[in-house]
Amino acid sequence: MTGSIVTVEHFIAEQEREYPEATGAFTDILLQINLAAKVISAAVNRAGLIDILGVIGSTNVHDEEVQKLDDYANDVLLNLLRRCGSLSGMVSEEEEGFVHVPESRDPGPYIIAFDPLDGSSNIDVNISVGTIFSVYRKRSDGTRVRRRDLLQPGSEQVAAGYVLYGSSTMLVFTTGRGVHGFTLDPGIGEFLLSYRNLRIPSPGKNIYSINEAYFDKWTPGQQRLVERLRQPPPDAPSFSARYVGSMVADFHRTLLRGGIFMYPGTVAKPEGKLRLLYEVAPMAMICEQAGGLATDGRRRILDIEPEGLHHRVPTFLGAPDLVEMAGRYLADD
């Protein structure tokens, strides 16, 4: 049995041997994320015991209340990633601007963007939360980080992934060669390979995931789409609605069981809520690598050029037939 155990460190080393172009700098980033995930997972599991539940009394750049665990997870990622030596800097949901690496060190060849704790408003009621990350190569030469280094389309990502803190802690990532999942074994403190080459089931479960409380605020096309899912034609399969309110948890279910995850815009806010650079683009890369589609209802997510660090886009992720169907309903909006 022990011969089949593969840790995330061994898996990354395997990939390095298989792909000679892989670099130690890139591997170092993934290993620091691996360590950060363990630290944050331990804090999430003990949050009620160490006084890091609730809000800290301030708001972030998005005018959202900052949860104590948001702040903690952000600090963990910033501090661990700063020391890996492979980055020019970082973009975080919790930071208004770009975070530079220490000026005393030569900048590394990569940029990382992350949401330290997606769905953190759920943590007080013991619902799954997650971390999302995205890695890009620095485009420009020299030590200075330029706008074109930061605002790259998702198609330029060299890696993307998320960590789900739920009944178990899972690390799921892609480097552009399939999607792989690792489950944290608390007994030995290691992420072990549990899913190799994940694919969104097609056909899979007919599940749609969306916050239907916004129904009256949606465009007519989005309303018609959800009505179609609620009441399909007699000869069409029926659907189930499942919505957690944590993008990582809702997308993870979509990845494993199929269906579609949607976070559309509204008439008043057509851009939606989710941020392109560190939430939607990494999930879109994972979705496509697993055989799914990822659009904003019209355009491929990975082709969209971010206009700023916190650019928002409507989001449709999941099985190709369902994402394509969504696009048809939205075409006339």
In a domain, 202, yes or no: no
User: Within this chain, do residues 151 and 268 fall inside the same structural domain, yes or no?
Assistant: no
User: Within this chain, do residues 184 and 295 fall inside the same structural domain, yes or no?
Assistant: no
In a domain, 29, yes or no: yes
User: Within this chain, do residues 130 and 273 fall inside the same structural domain, yes or no?
Assistant: no
CATH of the domain at 272: 3.40.190.80
**Residue written as token pair 């694919």:** 199
Q: What is the dihedral of CA 93, 179, 39, 311, to 10 degrees?
A: 0
Residue 74 is which amino acid?
N
Q: CA-to-CA distance for 51 and 40, rounded, in angstroms?
A: 14
Angle 116-41-61 from CA coordinates, rounded to 5°? 15
Residue 302 is which amino acid?
L
User: Within this chain, do residues 108 and 179 fall inside the same structural domain, yes or no?
Assistant: yes
In a domain, 200, yes or no: no
CATH of the domain at 127: 3.30.540.10
pLDDT in tens, the chain (333 residues): 445 789 999 998 887 766 555 567 788 899 999 999 999 999 888 755 445 444 444 444 445 555 678 888 999 999 999 888 889 989 999 898 888 876 556 778 999 999 999 987 776 677 789 999 999 999 888 777 888 888 999 999 999 999 999 889 999 999 999 999 999 999 999 999 999 999 999 877 899 999 999 999 999 999 999 999 999 998 888 999 999 999 999 999 999 999 999 999 999 999 999 999 999 999 999 999 999 999 999 999 999 999 999 999 999 999 999 999 999 999 988
The number of domains in the chain is 2
User: Within this chain, do residues 57 and 179 fall inside the same structural domain, yes or no?
Assistant: yes
Write the CB contacts of 256 (distance below 8 Å, at least 6 apart in sequence). Answer: 198, 201
Report the largest interatomic distance among the alpha carbons of the chain, rounded to a whole angstrom: 67
User: Within this chain, do residues 29 and 141 fall inside the same structural domain, yes or no?
Assistant: yes
Given 156, 175, 195, which residue is the final one in a domain? 195
Q: Which helix (H) or strand (E) holds 1?
A: none
In a domain, 240, yes or no: yes
User: Is the separation of the CB atoms in 329 and 222 below 8 Å?
Assistant: yes
> What predicted TM-score, i.e. pTM, was given to this entire model?
0.91
User: Within this chain, do residues 303 and 326 fall inside the same structural domain, yes or no?
Assistant: yes
Given 174, 195, 216, which residue is the final one in a domain? 195
* Structural tokens at position 58: 């301030």
In a domain, 201, yes or no: no
Strands (E), 146-254: 157-165, 169-174, 179-185, 190-195, 207-209, 240-241
Residue 301 is which amino acid?
I
Given 173, 195, 217, which residue is the final one in a domain? 195
First to last CA, the chain: 55
Q: Which helix (H) or strand (E) holds 80?
A: helix 68-82
SS3 22: coil
User: Within this chain, do residues 54 and 111 fall inside the same structural domain, yes or no?
Assistant: yes
Q: CA-to-CA distance for 208 and 251, rounded, in angstroms?
A: 10
User: Within this chain, do residues 27 and 97 fall inside the same structural domain, yes or no?
Assistant: yes
User: Within this chain, do residues 148 and 233 fall inside the same structural domain, yes or no?
Assistant: no
In a domain, 315, yes or no: yes
User: Within this chain, do residues 315 and 269 fall inside the same structural domain, yes or no?
Assistant: yes
**Domain around 326:** 207-330
User: Within this chain, do residues 189 and 236 fall inside the same structural domain, yes or no?
Assistant: no
